Homo-oligomer: A and B are copies of this chain.
Amino acid sequence: MMTETEFLAALKALPLHKGARGLADDCALIEIGGETLIINHDLMAEGTHFRPEADLADVAWKLVAINLSDLASKGAEPIGILLGHSLGGNDQRFIQGLQAVLTAYNIAILGGDTIAATGASTYSVTALGRATSKTVPSRSSAKIGDSVFVTGTLGCAMLGFEGHSRFIEAFSRPQPRVTEGQALAGHVNAMMDVSDGLLLDIFRIAEASGVSIEIDSAAVPVADNSRRHECMIWGDDYELLFTLPPGIKPAAKATAIGTVEPRGFVPLFVDGEPIANADGLGYQHG
């Protein structure tokens, strides 16, 4: 067996579509008939992404939501989803969660596949959307001099996961920033959604863009001031992280948390402290 890093390296050596952006971005792009289609595919597996005792209504919501969050980071207007479903859990609750998230985001089912599997369940969603901006934002287009912004408050999902009642929904039913993504896409330089932890995702933008990013951690809006660092490295918040040229105000509610600078000896500085590699900055998939 291979690690995720090894497998990804092997995939990159196979024939890649140019819309795959070298498998370095969150979504694929297909240019067709003068429009750009944005596509994303995510899996969730029992035991890895959710606990066996999880409410499958929450799992269905989250599976669709994390795909919509990827579309949001491209400013896409969602069209619909294809669902891959393993029967065998509480399928009725899965359907109820699916209905809730489809209704909340006004999207529809396009198709999919249903299987009877043995053992731990795996669910998959492919989400499709239409680009709303001429240039589709990427991770790699942060420019020197840009300001770095993030929507919302970080750490809510962490507190929800720990059982703090006010934040349960932030963890179990995240709300992807679909509207904000569309408002921002035409103006930002780089954009991505924060899924694996704020600092890790900032590190990734800096690496992909060949720049350094300086973060002022005191400026980061966090759910628990006494656990500021944890809020910045825990994932699952599904906020949007983006950079804007100097002097441009964000077209959606967001907080300035840092600046893009010429590439120094490391990609990331937090309060002036150099961060040389991504270890410990967030959730790294196995």
Interface residues of A (CB under 8 A from B): 1-4, 6-8, 10-11, 14-17, 19-20, 23, 27-28, 30, 32-35, 37, 39-49, 79-80, 82-92, 95, 98-99, 102-103, 107-120, 122, 124, 126, 128, 130, 285-286
Contacts and interface: CB of A to CB of B under 8 A. Distances in A.
Nearest to A25: B111
Nearest to A92: B2
Given A110-B19, A119-B47, A124-B43, A102 B14 contact: yes
Given A32-B32, A84-B84, 19 more contacts: A1-B89, A1-B90, A4-B87, A4-B115, A11-B114, A14-B109, A16-B108, A20-B111, A28-B110, A30-B79, A32-B130, A37-B37, A39-B111, A39-B126, A45-B117, A84-B124, A116-B285, A117-B122, A126-B126
A14 B99 contact: yes
A14 B110 contact: no
A122 B84 CA distance: 10
Contacts of A80: 17, 19-20, 28, 30
B109 A23 contact: yes
Given A7-B85, A80-B20, A111 B47 contact: no
User: Which of A85, A103, A110, A119 has most B Cβ within 10 Å?
Assistant: A110
Contacts of A116: 4, 48, 285-286
A87 B20 contact: no
A110 B48 CA distance: 24
Contacts of A114: 4, 7-8, 11, 285
B111 A27 contact: yes
A90 B126 CA distance: 25
A49 B116 CA distance: 9
B37 A34 contact: no
A87 B7 contact: yes
The list of the 4 closest CB pairs from A to B, nearest first, reads A33-B33, A116-B286, A33-B35, A17-B108
User: Which of A4, A98, A126, A285 has most B Cβ within 10 Å?
Assistant: A126
A129 to B, nearest CB: 10
A33 B30 contact: no
A124 B47 contact: no
B34 A109 contact: no
A178 to B, nearest CB: 16
